[in-house]
């Protein structure tokens, strides 16, 4: 019976383990934490957004520059198959109003428990509290022997016919994935793009007054433009240190690029995206003499206190008086982003093993027989179920790649 070692017990690794074991491979998973799937289970606290229901053409664009590499993986194991897989584990899914797909239980625990039971039935051995700590042999050698370290610090050498790496990125490191794999990989000459925070809040230097009053308040139905790109509509959450939420996450790559180039990034927030500039100015033109600025903005254009606070904050504390200037401000509030929150607060990680290092079946070109899946690779996507979908799909593709490679070795 051929053997496989899967490093990392997250969605990508466990999916690879399931496919390999289902094909009759003797699979051992090494997971450094006392239990696998911790990030997956945490994702369940937010309802577990497994995937998205939008059509394929839109779906693939969510992977930006990696769309071309990921598209064939979605063909192999796409949203419908993922939903069928969950249903088969006793957790049917539904499409929420935003098009996002969730398990009916809105939690990860029942699905994950059923999955672990299936893996056990398939004979998958999950060795908990065992960490991959590198490869045996000299740096630069092609030795595929793995070093596995247990919690007492004892390291042993293990081998297998195929290996699948699925050690994740570096966000929320206390859940297990901390990016320490980058060192041994780069030492072997594998090109790894530096890991960076993705789907993370951004920093804005709010005044104490504004932060105290409005942290935790959402700005609903606004649109955001970053570096002259297309405006995107949605909700922003004001925080004590800046802004977070799907709208900034979706433009994360553009924000990071601007921060790298200029040290800051000008984000324009349109507080009334459904009303034209002319109409905003017209409505503001009907100010009653006795109206305070707050009343004027609330009555004529329906701005809430947080939006009015933001206008004041970004115009030095005092609002301009004339309608045309205020209208222009409402349609493009300049918010200066000075940084992103740290990677340990990020939902996911950008960067990772360069696509040039793996073939279409996710095998490392420099290490035949070794495959990589999930957030370890250099891709990113916004929230919306795209992260888990790609991680699962890559687990499937890497496992099928490993099976094909095993067959080639014996033919």
Ligand X SMILES: Cc1cc2nc3c(=O)[nH]c(=O)nc-3n(C[C@H](O)[C@H](O)[C@H](O)COP(=O)(O)OP(=O)(O)OC[C@H]3O[C@@H](n4cnc5c(N)ncnc54)[C@H](O)[C@@H]3O)c2cc1C
List residues binding ligand X (CB under 6 A): 7-13, 30-33, 36, 38-40, 42-43, 46, 48-49, 131-132, 166-168, 171-172, 176-177, 181, 347-348, 374-375, 385, 387-388, 391
Q: Which is nearer to ligand X, 168 or 201 (by Cβ)?
A: 168
Q: Which is nearer to ligand X, 197 or 327 (by Cβ)?
A: 197
**H helix runs in 35-180, sequence order:** 38-43, 56-61, 67-76, 79-88, 109-121
Compute the least distance from the CB of residue 7 to ligand X, in Å: 5
Q: Which is nearer to ligand X, 42 or 266 (by Cβ)?
A: 42
Q: Which is nearer to ligand X, 2 or 36 (by Cβ)?
A: 36
Compute the least distance from the CB of residue 88 to ligand X, in Å: 19
H or E element in which residue 386 lies: helix 386-410
Compute the least distance from the CB of residue 29 to ligand X, in Å: 9
H or E element in which residue 298 lies: helix 293-301
For residue 131, give the 3-state DSSP assignment.
strand
**For residue 199, which of 171, 230, 180, 218 has the smallest C-alpha distance?**
171
Q: Cα–Cα distance between 370 and 4 in angstroms, integer?
A: 10
Compute the least distance from the CB of residue 384 to ligand X, in Å: 7
β-sheet with 100-103: strand ranges across: 51-52, 100-103, 93-95
Q: Which is nearer to ligand X, 70 or 347 (by Cβ)?
A: 347
Compute the least distance from the CB of residue 311 to ligand X, in Å: 32
Residue 31 corresponds to which tokens in the numbers above? 């997971």
Helices vs. strands in the chain: H and E counts, helices first: 15, 19
CA distances from 332 to 16, 258, 283, 323, 336 (A): 47, 18, 17, 14, 12
Q: Which is nearer to ligand X, 280 or 350 (by Cβ)?
A: 350
- In the 8-state DSSP scheme, what is residue 364? B
Compute the least distance from the CB of residue 386 to ligand X, in Å: 6
């Amino acid at each position: 019976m051929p053997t496989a070692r899967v490093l990392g017990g997250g969605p990508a690794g466990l999916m690879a383990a399931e496919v390999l074991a289902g094909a009759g491979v003797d699979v051992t998973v090494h997971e450094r934490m006392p239990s696998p799937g911790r990030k997956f289970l945490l994702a369940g606290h937010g309802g577990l957004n497994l995937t998205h229901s939008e059509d394929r053409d839109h779906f693939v664009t969510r992977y930006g520059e990696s769309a071309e590499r990921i598209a064939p993986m979605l063909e192999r194991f796409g949203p419908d198959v993922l939903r069928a897989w969950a249903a088969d584990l006793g957790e049917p899914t539904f499409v929420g109003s935003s098009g996002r797909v969730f398990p009916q239980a809105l939690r990860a625990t029942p699905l994950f428990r059923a999955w672990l039971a299936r893996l056990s039935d398939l004979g998958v051995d999950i060795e908990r509290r065992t960490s991959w700590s590198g490869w045996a042999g000299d740096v630069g050698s092609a030795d595929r022997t793995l070093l596995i370290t247990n919690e007492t610090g004892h390291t042993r050498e293990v081998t297998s016919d195929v290996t699948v790496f699925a050690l994740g990125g570096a966000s929320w490191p206390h859940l297990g994935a901390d990016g320490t794999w980058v060192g041994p990989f780069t030492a072997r000459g594998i090109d790894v793009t530096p890991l960076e925070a993705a789907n993370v809040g951004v920093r804005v230097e709010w005044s104490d007054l504004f932060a105290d009053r409005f942290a935790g308040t959402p700005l609903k139905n606004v649109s955001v433009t970053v570096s002259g790109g297309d405006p995107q509509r949605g909700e922003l959450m004001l925080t004590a240190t800046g802004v977070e939420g799907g709208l900034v996450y979706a433009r994360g790559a553009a924000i990071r690029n601007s921060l790298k180039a200029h040290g800051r990034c000008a984000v324009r927030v349109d507080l009334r995206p459904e009303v034209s500039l002319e109409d905003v100015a017209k409505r503001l033109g009907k100010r009653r003499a006795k109206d305070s600025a707050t009343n004027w903005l609330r009555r004529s254009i329906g701005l809430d206190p947080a939006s009015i606070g933001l206008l004041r904050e970004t115009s030095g504390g005092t609002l301009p008086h004339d309608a045309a200037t205020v209208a222009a401000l409402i349609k493009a509030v300049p918010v200066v982003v000075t940084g992103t929150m740290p990677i340990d607060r990020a939902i996911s990680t950008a960067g990772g093993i360069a696509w040039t290092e793996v073939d279409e079946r996710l095998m490392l070109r420099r290490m035949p027989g070794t495959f990589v899946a999930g957030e370890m690779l250099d891709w990113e996507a916004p929230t919306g179920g795209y992260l888990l979908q790609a991680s699962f799909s890559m687990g499937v593709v890497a496992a099928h790649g490993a099976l094909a490679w095993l067959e080639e070795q014996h033919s």
